[in-house]
Amino acid sequence: MTTSTLDHRPGPPGTCAHRPMVWDTRSMVGGGTQRTTKAGRRIRWQRVQRMAIASLGIVLLLASSPLAQVFSSEQGPLRLTTVARGLEHPWGLAFLPDGRLLVTERPGRLRIVTPDGQLSAPLGGVPQVFAQGQGGLLDVALHPQFTENNLTYLSYAEPGAGGAGTAVARGRLRETHLEDVRVLFRQEPKVTGPVHFGSRLVFAPDGMLFVTLGERGQRDRAQLLHEHLGKLVRITPDGAVPSDNPFVGQAGVRPEIWSLGHRNIQGAALHPQTQALWIIDHGAQGGDEVNMPAAGKNYGWPIITYGRDYSGASIGEGTAKPGLEQPVHYWDPSIAPSGLSFYTGTRIPAWQGHLFVGSLKLGLLVRLRLEGPRVVHEERLLQGFGERIRDVRQGPDGLLYLFTDSPAGRIVRLEPLAR
């Protein structure tokens, strides 16, 4: 439920503030205790009526406006404002140094969006994508020295012999196109099916690039080290294998692998203090996970999980097993998480260091408060918003930006509303 921007008082946590507006006509005409002439009283009453009608019009306009909505939170009311609309299943976002946004659309388009919401024509040079089911153009990331080299990275579902798999390509961003595009990484093997491609791109402080993947709907292969399915991989900015990757030099093992036993990683971000990578892994029916993937570790899918198959059948051997990692946090029932961001802004100081996760299933935003590596509190924001949230990113203005996942997707901005 949303409420008018004219009523800023928050309701109970997890609900939207909404209280009836009460008009005190006595205060508007001078307290109601002074003796006035009949004509004077009529003039004042007509003035009150005009004010009430005008204010009611504003309330109705704001309530029906698609541009702004107001939601309650534990830190006070929040305003959600549309920044851009008309995007077809927007998936990934990068903030350009000049204030514009670089946005991917899953069918295979890359666009530049201005701060006032104007969409560019699709940029040229984007590789061909496998735009079926969950496949298509996925994430976008800028090289750490983008201002010097304009290097831009894309992850996407790539068609090819055997089916499709996640790939990473790099090119130099120009105003209308990418140039010098080349593929840096290909998930092997390519398999049939339209699900579980991942994928997010995160540059680590050492300059290496993390690429999150899915197991392409073939769960048992997440445990096979000679394949990339169900893995998190780490490559250099040029696509080479870093010499300190955990499986380098082991026969029959893909050297790009950083960790294994993942289902479908659709969110990744660096912790602002420790610089460790955090991820969210989209579970089955329950069992969505937050993890801190360490080098060479096995996160269990599908041997252990807190979820069940969509048929209701059990998966694997239970929820724990020696040698397999436990999640930092999990959801059961599932929220269908997608998009992950740590908040470091100053607009809501109480949120600093907290983790934000989008929900596709519930159409809301989850805030997780941490103490070290533990989640100690969860708040569900934007209750009643109802649109699938694909991604969440913090902008250079210190505010959170969200993608809605639909054929008529939007970019929306979340900000505190002054009280």
Write down the domain spans for the chain. Answer: 1-65, 82-416
Q: Tally Cβ neighbours within 10 Å of residue 114.
A: 14
Q: Give me the pLDDT at residue 68, please.
A: 84
pLDDT at 55 exceeding the cut of 70: no
355 Cβ contact list (under 8 Å, min separation 6): 269, 278, 290, 340, 341, 342, 343, 367, 368, 370, 375
Does the pLDDT value for residue 61 go beyond 70? no
pLDDT value at residue 364: 97
Share of the chain above pLDDT 70, in %: 84
Q: What is the pLDDT of residue 40?
A: 54
**For the segment 276-315, what is each residue's pLDDT rounded down to a tens digit?**
999 999 999 999 999 999 999 999 999 999 999 999 999 9
Backbone angles phi, psi at 25, to 5 degrees: -70, -25
Instruction: Give per-residue pLDDT as tens, 176-190.
Output: 999 999 999 999 999
List the structure tokens of 226: 């000679």
Tens of pLDDT, residues 96-135: 999 999 999 999 999 999 999 999 999 999 999 999 999 9
> How much of the chain, in percent, has pLDDT values that exceed 90?
83
Asked if residue 199 has pLDDT above 50, the reply is yes
306-363 pLDDT, tens digit each: 999 999 999 999 999 999 999 999 999 999 999 999 999 999 999 999 999 999 999 9
Q: How far lies 114's CA from each of 91, 175, 311, 318, in Å?
A: 17, 12, 45, 49
- The pLDDT of residue 418: 76
Q: What is the mean pLDDT of residues 137-149?
A: 98
Query: What does the alpha-carbon distance between residue 151 and residue 134 come to, in Å, rounded to a whole number?
Result: 26
Looking at 57-71, 89-103, 387-401, which range is the least confident one?
57-71
Query: Per-residue pLDDT averaged across 56-80, rounded?
Result: 70
Topology (CATH) of 82-416: Neuraminidase (2.120.10)
Q: Cα separation of 67 and 184, whole Å?
A: 40
Q: How many angstroms separate the Cα of 270 from the Cα of each of 21, 292, 381? A: 44, 10, 22
- Considering the entire predicted model, what is its pTM? 0.85
Q: Is 83's pLDDT higher than 70?
A: yes
Per-residue pLDDT, 195: 98
| In the predicted structure, residue 17 carries a pLDDT above the cut 70 | no
- Active-site annotation, residues: 196
Mean pLDDT on 263-276: 98
- pLDDT, residue 31, reads 40
Q: Give pLDDT, residue 39.
A: 55
Predicted pLDDT of residue 14: 35
Other C-beta atoms within 10 Å of 292: how many?
Answer: 16
Higher pLDDT, 307 or 41: 307
Q: Residue 289: what pLDDT? A: 98
Question: Concatenated DSSP letters for 68-88?
Answer: EEEE--TTS-EEEEEEEEEES
Please tell me the predicted confidence (pLDDT) of residue 42: 59
Is residue 21 over pLDDT 90? no
Half-sphere exposure of 335 (CA within 13 A, CB side): 29
Token code pair at residue 299 = 């996160």
